[in-house]
Structure formats: C-alpha cells, structure tokens
Amino acid sequence: MKKQLLPLVLLLFTFCQEKAAPPNPISPIPDERQIAWQKLEYYGFIHFNMNTFSDREWGFGDEKPEQFNPTALDARQWARIASEAGMKGLIITAKHHDGFCLWPSAYTEHSVKNSPWRDGKGDLIREFADACREYGLKVGIYYSPWDRNHPDYGKPEYITYMRNQLTELLTNYGDIFEVWFDGANGGTGWYGGANEERKVDKLTYYDWPTTHQLVRDLQPGAMLFSDAGPDVRWVGNEHGFAYESTWSNLMRDSVYAGMPEYSDKWASGQENGTHWVPAESDVSIRPGWYYHAYEDHKVKTLPQLMEIFYKSIGRNSSLLINFPVDTRGLIHENDEKAILQFAAKVREDFETNLAQDAEISASLELGKGYEAELTIDGDYNTYWTVPGGQIESQLELDFGNEINFNRLLLQEFTPLGQRVKSFSLEVEKDGAWVKIASGTTIGYKRILRFPDVNAQKIRIRFEDGKDIPVISELGVYSAPKLLLAPEIKREKSGLVTLVSPDEGLEIRYSLDGSEPSQTYQEPFLVEKATTLQVLSADPNSGQKSEISRKDMEVPKAKWESSGERAIDENPATYFTSSDNELIVDLGEKLTIEGFTYLPMQARYPSGHITEYTFWVSLDGKNWQKISSGEFSNVVNSPIEQFIRFDPTEAKFIKLQALKTADGNSATVGELGVLTR
C-alpha cells in the first residue's frame, strides 16, 4: 500500500467500526416522566391563599371566604417574573391546610365562589394556568391532604372529598407537570365547628396507592411529589439545601409522607435505594411561605440565593423557590428584584463553558460512540463511558494555554442509573498533578466550587462508583466574583468583623469618612462613635463593589442589664420583659442625643412596642422622662427605629413600653443610643 493511503484507510476503518453495545443500566433507573422532569431543574412555588389575608402560616380552618379579597390580583405578573427568572414552571397552593379552595369546587362552599374577589365568579386556578401557558411555563398543583376546615377530616368520607377535588383539578386545567402532596398533616383544627384534635394514621388513612393511581389516570405525565415520592421526594429541610452526597435512589418502601425520622434518615437518598425518587429542594424567598408585610425587609439576599443554587441544583436536586404573593395578589417588588438578580448571576456564572474549547482525552474509552468528546458536545443524550469493570478512570483536558476557573460541573447519564461515589479534580502544576477539589455523588448535575485556579491542564478522576462512570456533560467555568459590599458584624465588645460575600475578594475599609483603602485582615475594635465605610474589590479584574456605610455608635462593652439579649449586638436574639421595661447601665456617663429600638426579628413576632417612653438617669434612682411617642408601622415593618432628642447626660437609660401591638409582654431585639 502506498504510504499516503494509510491515513485514509485508517480513517475509513474507524468510520466503519460498529458502535459498541451501551453499558447495562444499573437499577434503579428513572422512567420517561422523571427524565423529562429532571431537565426542568428550576421552577417556582406560589403560596397565595387564605393565609395571605389572615396573616398566618397555617390557618385554623375557621376563616371566612369573605376574607379572601386581593385588590389587584394578576397571575400574569407572577408568570412574567417566573419566566424572566428562567423558571420552567409554577406550582400553586390550590388548597392549603386551612381548606380554602382557589377554584370554585363543586364539593365545598369554602372557596373563591363565596369570596368578594371577582364577585365570587373568579377561578384562580384557571387564571393561573392560562397565565403560565401564555409565558411557556408548566403548571403544577399543591394540594394539602390535611384540611382543618372540613367536617369529615379523619373519616373515610373525606378521602372521597379529596379525590373528587383532585379530579376537578386534574381534569379541568390542562396538563399538570407536578402534583405536590404536603407531608404536614393531622392535628388540631376547626373541622366544621368541632374544634378538636384529629390524628390520622399517615401511612394508611389516605390510601395513597389509590389516590396516586387516580392522578396517573388523569394526568399520566404528572410527577407525584411527597416525602416518599413516588416520583420526586422532599429534600428534608426548608432551606433549599441538598446534601454533599445526594442519591436519587431511595428505599421508597420504607418511607411514608410525614414520618418523623424522614429528614435525618432518608432525605439524602441511599446508595442502595430500591427506587428512583430524585430530590426536590423547596425554599421560600422570605422566611415565611406566606406573605407578611413584616418580612418585606427579609427577602433573601443574592449571596443567600446563590448558596441555595449551588447546594440544590449543584447537588443533584431540583430547585423550587417560593414567592409569597402579597395581599394585592402580586409578587412584591423586593422579591421580584431579588429573583431577577439571582437569575442574572446564575447566567453570568455559567456563561462560557471553557471545556468546550479544550482538547479532551480519556484514560479509557468503551469504543466508538462513547468518546471523551461527547462530554463537551452540549448534548445530554450522548456520553463517555469505559469498558465494563473499569471503574477507576479519568478524563484529561488541555486548554491550550493557562486559563483561570473556579467551577466544575459534571452530569451523569442518569437513564443508565446513578453510579459515581467519589471523584476528584486535579490540575497540572510544574509537571505534577495536584488535587484541588473532590466530590462524592454526581447524579443529574453536580457543581463544585473552589477558589480561583490557573492551569492549562486538568484531569477528573473517577475514583469509586457503583459501576463504571457514564458521563454526559462536563463544564469548567470562571464565575465572576459576587461583587457586593461585605457584611458588617459587631460584637458587644466593639469588635468589628467584615464578612466577604465571595471567596478571593479583598475587603477594604475606612473609619474617617474617606474612600475605603485600608485592607481588612482581621476583626478590629471600634471604640468611638464613627462612620465605617467598606467595599469589596476583585484583585484579578480590579473591579470594586459599591461602598456600604454604617454609622457606628459607642460600643456596648461596659453596658449591663438584666435584658442582656437586648444589648448583645446580635439582632437574632431578643429580650422579653415581664414588666414592660428595659433598664441599661451604660457603665459611664454619656451625652446622648437619641436612642434606637430594633424590634424582635424572630420568625413569629410578639410584643412589638408601639407606644413608648424613654427615660435617663445619672444614679439609676432618679429618672427623667426624655421622650415619649409611637413606633408606627413597626408590626408590618420591624426595622430599626431611630428616635432623636436634645443632647442629655445619662449613665442609665430606660425604655418603657406603654403599649405592645398584640398586648403581650414587650420584646426588644436590640436597644442602642445615639451620641452624634
């Protein structure tokens, strides 16, 4: 053969080679419905129902339909925001524990049909479904099995009621992608006036197999959610965090919805789980699931939302973020801003997959059709794998020149089962391989975050697995830093800590009102009243965050009080005063020009002071009244209150509550003075 012909023949030979048989799936594997759902990754929750108007998280069941009266409801606004945020669907609380129905069910009077909203002619599930479809979103239904309104709850008749209602919901509103059955159920309630506690056997009462079959018959494409699946399981917490090791495999027959030990024992899935029941991480964008005006200032921050993203989607789980729609019937401006910032940051972090320009090779390859290149082709359905039995194997990438990166993304081809148990990432440094990150499970998607690293060559070692690795996609990214101002924390001693919003940033500060230029290395004492200014800077790009400014008061180091928790500089703790006053010994004579009152910040507020008197004393015995007045709107907006008065000398201060919002003993999150 002529020498020149050899490459051509080799090429032809490779071309004609048969594609090897694919590896055998390892049980359990997802069904078609689960495979389609998995790709959604990210969708939203709408908690909007009677609780929105009763200002509760769990209604008792004795609420009146007349209370349900949104003033400007617009489901299209919800759908627009969800779609702009990149969500693929929305799930709405059609009926929560209090039993009120957002659609005019034929089986109860406790619904929108007896409310003033749209003169009783409204059907919110219809408006919701129409709006979702207009914006290309899938439609999901949350239905609480527990019903604190229904007289028959606990009896067999209620199960018939529940199935009748599900039939309405699953036949009249088009395709439903997920049906969400809450695990919280059974307890006290109004129950048609009985007003008692009703316990049910969570395992048997609902006869779940029959109810599930009903859903299957009416909506064959719908995923069934509950603690126990059968299709998708609860992640076991309401923070939106999956686990370092998260299996889609679950010992499903050992689990039932609402079982007390679920979170600790089952929620992370099991390597040897018998069924494919992937995790869904649910979390609210505010502390509560329902809207409370007093949480308007507590919408999750961008760093918090990014943490949720990396600990849910980045850990083999889908992400369900909740919007507590407000009493107008709209997603609040603060929530909209937060979710859109989050979506923009996720897009920014994953804008360019640097692996796609790399040269990739594998230590082993099963053969034609399973090449390493298939992990960077952007197609989930093609994958790299190795010959049977060769669990330990690796992929190597050469970027051609040194690049900077801080994220590794891996996806297993889950239709063949979840396999990988441990892997690591190494970079080549001066001719040697250095490990910089590692992980355990991968599943549908796994993202590792690590400090910036520069390298030309990397390798991913698959070290252990249930069987050979089958990898669909691989991504390497250089996520820009979260360039936000650092968080300022202060202790009672006056010690200030600056918390960086991201790794690898430089923190700068100033204490004299000038542009922050001093580099922050460790916590420092601020002993006088002054203004602290801080910023974060990215040493690589030279970019800086906005400056955040905080007026610091004299430290509370010398302060003493029986209400220690009100002067500990920790806004999360609070003091409850049985005699409705709080006295503080300042430890020295100060000239003060005002005081500050931070209402308690706990989840369920109580004892917010609405009318006060403020006193000063030099000896702790003779008191002088300095100021008296009202903290207006403190219930709806429990932010720090600033009260100013003419300068006066004080060694002791006393805040007296003349009235609290709910008549309970006064509470104080934090008390402070103003000396400037």
| Residue nearest ligand FUL by beta-carbon distance | 184
Cβ closer to ligand FUL: 182 or 569? 182
Window contacting ligand FUL (CB under 6 A); options: 33-41, 176-184, 398-406, 492-500: 176-184
Cβ closer to ligand FUL: 226 or 406? 226
Of positions 78, 117, 191, 289, contacts ligand FUL by CB under 6 A = 289
Cβ closer to ligand FUL: 189 or 672? 189
Taking residues 359 to 378 in sequence order and writing x for each that binds ligand FUL by CB under 6 A, - otherwise, the string is: --------------------
CB of 57: closest distance to ligand FUL in angstroms?
6
Cβ closer to ligand FUL: 56 or 345? 56
Cβ closer to ligand FUL: 57 or 428? 57
Cβ closer to ligand FUL: 183 or 221? 183
CA distance 87 to 28: 28
CB of 278: closest distance to ligand FUL in angstroms?
18
Q: What angle do CA 607, 613, 616 make, to 5 degrees?
A: 120
Cβ closer to ligand FUL: 299 or 567? 299
CA dist list (Å): 34 to 30, 40, 444, 564: 6, 10, 11, 53
* Structure tokens given for 161: 């009621």
CB of 153: closest distance to ligand FUL in angstroms?
16
> Of 68, 30, 43, 326, which is closest to residue 176 (Cα–Cα)?
43
CB of 95: closest distance to ligand FUL in angstroms?
11
Q: Which residues contact 265 (CB under 8 A, 6 or more apart)?
A: none
* Structure tokens given for 644: 């100013």
Window contacting ligand FUL (CB under 6 A); options: 34-42, 181-189, 451-459, 490-498: 181-189
Cβ closer to ligand FUL: 318 or 440? 318
Q: Which residues contact 542 (CB under 8 A, 6 or more apart)?
A: none
Window contacting ligand FUL (CB under 6 A); options: 179-187, 356-364, 417-425, 627-635: 179-187
182 belongs to the binding site for ligand FUL (CB under 6 A):
yes
CB of 289: closest distance to ligand FUL in angstroms?
4
CA distance 561 to 568: 10
CA dist list (Å): 72 to 77, 288, 661: 11, 22, 28
CB of 171: closest distance to ligand FUL in angstroms?
24
CB of 447 closer than 8 Å to CB of 457: no
Cβ closer to ligand FUL: 18 or 261? 261
CB of 322: closest distance to ligand FUL in angstroms?
7
CA distance 289 to 238: 10
57 belongs to the binding site for ligand FUL (CB under 6 A):
yes
- Four-CA torsion 275, 178, 49, 631, nearest 10 degrees: 70
> Of 345, 300, 350, 335, which is closest to residue 482 (Cα–Cα)?
345
Cβ closer to ligand FUL: 68 or 413? 68
Window contacting ligand FUL (CB under 6 A); options: 17-25, 180-188, 399-407, 576-584: 180-188
Cβ closer to ligand FUL: 183 or 480? 183
Footprint on residues 249-288 left by ligand FUL (CB under 6 A): 282
CA distance 643 to 653: 14
Window contacting ligand FUL (CB under 6 A); options: 28-36, 177-185, 387-395, 461-469: 177-185
CB of 306: closest distance to ligand FUL in angstroms?
22
CA distance 15 to 577: 82
CB of 46: closest distance to ligand FUL in angstroms?
11
Footprint on residues 189-248 left by ligand FUL (CB under 6 A): none
Window contacting ligand FUL (CB under 6 A); options: 182-190, 205-213, 566-574, 589-597: 182-190
Sign of the CA dihedral running 660, 664, 667, 673: positive
CB of 292: closest distance to ligand FUL in angstroms?
13
CB of 261: closest distance to ligand FUL in angstroms?
16
CB of 212 closer than 8 Å to CB of 277: no
Window contacting ligand FUL (CB under 6 A); options: 131-139, 178-186, 462-470, 665-673: 178-186
> If binding means CB under 6 A, how many residues of this protein chain bind ligand FUL?
6
42 belongs to the binding site for ligand FUL (CB under 6 A):
no
Cβ closer to ligand FUL: 285 or 661? 285
CB of 110: closest distance to ligand FUL in angstroms?
18
Bridge partners, residue 410, by sequence: 446, 474
Bridge partners, residue 531, by sequence: 551
Q: For the beta carbon of residue 591, count every other beta carbon within 10 angstroms.
A: 11
Q: Is 402 exposed, middle or buried (0-12, 13-18, 19+ CB in 10 A)?
A: exposed
Of positions 184, 293, 344, 557, contacts ligand FUL by CB under 6 A = 184
Cβ closer to ligand FUL: 47 or 110? 47
Footprint on residues 557-596 left by ligand FUL (CB under 6 A): none
CB of 253 closer than 8 Å to CB of 274: yes
Q: Which amino acid is at 48?
A: F
CA distance 642 to 53: 30
CB of 470 closer than 8 Å to CB of 23: yes
Q: Which residues contact 544 (CB under 8 A, 6 or more apart)?
A: 483, 535, 536, 537, 538
> Of 392, 410, 313, 315, which is closest to residue 355 (Cα–Cα)?
410
Cβ closer to ligand FUL: 56 or 608? 56
Measured in whole angstroms, how far is the alpha carbon of residue 503 from the centre of its chain? 20
CB of 398: closest distance to ligand FUL in angstroms?
47
CA distance 190 to 62: 6
What would the DSSP string read from start to end of 154-206? TSHHHHHHHHHHHHHHHHSSS--SEEEE-S---EEE-GGGT-EEE---TTTTT
Taking residues 619 to 658 in sequence order and writing x for each that binds ligand FUL by CB under 6 A, - otherwise, the string is: ----------------------------------------
Bridge partners, residue 116, by sequence: none
Cβ closer to ligand FUL: 185 or 610? 185
Interface with ligand FUL by CB under 6 A: which residues?
Answer: 57, 182-184, 282, 289
